[in-house]
Chains A and B, each alone.
Chain A
Amino acid sequence: MREKILYGAGILGTLWLVRNLYVICLVLPDETAQGAIYRNLFFHVPSWFVSFTAYFAAGLASIAYVAKRNPVADTLAVACVEVGLVFTCVGLATGSIWARIIWGIWWTWDARLTWALITAVIYAGYLMLRRAIDDPTTRAKNAAVLCIFSFVSVMITYKSIEWWRTQHPDPVLSFRTGGGTIDPAMESAVFQNMLALALLAAVMIAVRMRQEAALREVDSLRRMAHAR
């Protein structure tokens, strides 16, 4: 039953994305300077928001695991980091392609991009650590500690790289600038895509969590079988 709900939500999310794609490509007006490529924004920005939210959720889940030692918290943490990393890759790829057109280069070491790459490396390290530890309890608690450190570091790095250099376009969404820099239709499209991607991300996290729980159960069954 739960499976059906999950897959239903997944399909709903995908359909919503397709509808958004239609709006993005055919309904919205053009931007004067950038040509078609500005529409990249509608996947780029939502991916980053979803990704960062996932990392934040992973951090909270890790704190919950440290406090309560509930295995579900550990499962949530790993699922969120994985899905977060997927959307970070999407953000990096879409950003890179946009940059190729607008700035003429695939990559530059400005504040946001550097931070993005560092974040990706940090959380890839988290997944590598998990893979390196076999015992589930040790893996869960060590990974939880690493996740907390990673998240704090990601936040500090965000601020400090901003002080280091900046070339990235300044914020245009109205809650950041107080309104007036972006067409409201475009802004609503960004938010719609954000929600659609968030829905998809939630479905993927839920599926991943179920798989992790199944893996845990298989592991304990296997121990039981060997013990007899």
Chain B
Amino acid sequence: MRFARQSLRIAAKDLRAEMRTKEALNAALAFGVVILVIFSFVLDPGSEAIREMSGGLLWLTFVFAGALILNRAFARELPNDCLDTLLAAPLSGAALFLGKTLASFVLLIIVEGICLPIFGVLYDINWLLQPGLLAAVLLLATWGISVIGTVFSALTVNLRLRELMLPMLVYPIMIPALMAAMRLTTLLVTNEPISNDDWIWFRLLIGFDIIFTSLALGLVEIVLIG
């Protein structure tokens, strides 16, 4: 219980700090919209190709924009020795990590929630046809991305080339979750039924989340404290 309360408190602190300035949020949103616009030159809007690529396009946007948010998870604590203070506080590394993951998760969901309607308008796709399953995919995949991104943010927090190394390390590791999310999102956004074969992607997402959350909770203490 104490663990949960501590994590929620850390998450609330991070979200409060972010909402005051909205730096990362604005940057991520702006970047997301830019990517959506640029892709309109790659593909012919309104064509069949867009419908087939919608999942891929959406998740590329989310992940590239999300990197800005994930990077700040631990990087925001560097000035004024905030990270050292947090580590010295009477809370476990896992609680700190979980709180930051929750905060990143919420911010990513906000970015996705704003980018989806923009995507729908720009590419003329009605994405609201299977909202429940789409929401489930968004939540599951975003959690996986948040977990991996936050752990790697902790790993790279003290590096000079942090902004370069984080995406380089994170994207390949996230590929299974991304693949599942892209496949499912394409089906749901274009209102195709989920065939029996495709439920495997849901199972993959859930398995990915469980495995990496447990791994991260177990190992993040070593990264943060040693």
Contacts and interface: CB of A to CB of B under 8 A. Distances in A.
Q: Are any A and B Cβ atoms less than 8 Å apart in their complex?
A: yes
B89 to A, nearest CB: 21
A153 B173 contact: yes
A128 B179 contact: no
B223 interface: yes
Contacts of A133: 158-159
B122 to A, nearest CB: 28
A8 interface: no
A146 B172 contact: no
Given A125-B172, A149-B215, A160 B179 contact: yes
Interface string B158-183: 11110001001100110110011001
Nearest to A135: B158
Given A132-B165, A150-B173, A145 B155 contact: yes
B31 interface: no
A153 B160 contact: no
B176 A157 contact: yes
Contacts, number: 73
B209 to A, nearest CB: 11
Main secondary structure of the interface of A (DSSP, over half): helix
Interface of B: 148, 151, 155-156, 158-161, 165, 168-169, 172-173, 175-176, 179-180, 183, 200, 204, 207-208, 211-212, 215, 219, 222-223, 226
Given A128-B169, A149-B173, 14 more contacts: A122-B172, A128-B168, A129-B155, A132-B159, A142-B223, A145-B151, A145-B222, A148-B219, A149-B148, A149-B151, A149-B215, A153-B175, A156-B211, A157-B175
19 contacts: A118-B172, A118-B175, A122-B172, A125-B165, A125-B172, A128-B169, A129-B169, A133-B159, A138-B158, A141-B222, A145-B219, A152-B215, A153-B173, A153-B175, A153-B176, A156-B204, A156-B207, A160-B176, A160-B180
Interface of A: 66, 118, 121-122, 125, 128-129, 132-133, 137-138, 141-142, 144-146, 148-150, 152-153, 156-157, 160-161, 163-164
Closest 9 CB pairs of A and B: A153-B173, A160-B176, A122-B172, A125-B169, A156-B176, A121-B172, A145-B219, A132-B159, A157-B176
